[in-house]
């Protein structure tokens, strides 16, 4: 199993942040998006928030790749619709590359 940690910011507006959290409440997500994650090899996914900064932890199969995930997402219309909808709440972190949303984080410590 692999673990990845990623970061992304939300638009810094309390109402917008609440709406974003509502979209991610239990039962509110779209089944097609979850299925695309499973098809890509994502076994578990959690998102944490402090202020407008989000932190995602993904646990995946050993053969998971971001390229495979990108290809599945690109070919799943509901994922594209979801990503467009979510982008109205999100904003790239300052050091993200052009077009990059969730930015992969480097582990710097392990107990």
CB-based contacts of 104: which residues, under 8 Å, 6+ apart? 4, 5, 6, 66
Tell me whether residue 78 is in a domain. Answer: yes
Specify if 39 maps to a domain. yes
| pLDDT, mean over the chain | 97
Q: CA-CA distance, 33 to 79, in Å (whole number)? A: 5
**84 domain residue, yes or no:** yes
In-domain check, residue 111: no
Average pLDDT over every residue of 21-50: 96
Whether 67 is in a domain gets the answer yes
pLDDT at 106: 97
The C-alpha atoms of residue 69 and residue 22 are separated, in whole angstroms, by 25
Confidence of residue 58 (pLDDT cuts 50, 70, 90): very high
* Domain enclosing residue 74, as ranges: 2-104
How many structural domains does the chain have? Answer: 1
Q: Is residue 73 part of a domain?
A: yes
The CATH number covering residue 11 comes to 3.30.70.1090
Residue 109, in any domain of the structure: no
Q: How many residues does the chain have?
A: 111
List C-alpha distances in Å: 8 to 31, 32, 94: 22, 22, 10
The pLDDT, as a whole number, for residue 51 is 97
């Amino acid at each position: 199993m692999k673990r990845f940690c990623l970061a992304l910011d939300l638009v810094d507006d309390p109402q917008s942040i609440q709406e974003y959290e509502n979209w991610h409440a239990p039962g509110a997500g779209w089944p097609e998006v979850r299925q695309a994650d499973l098809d890509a090899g994502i076994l578990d996914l959690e998102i944490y928030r402090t202020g407008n900064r989000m932190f995602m932890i993904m646990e995946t199969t050993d053969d998971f790749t971001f390229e495979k995930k990108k290809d599945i997402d690109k070919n799943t219309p509901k994922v594209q619709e979801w990503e467009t909808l979510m982008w109205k709440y999100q904003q790239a972190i300052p050091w993200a590359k052009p077009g990059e949303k969730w930015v992969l984080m480097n582990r710097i410590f392990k107990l």
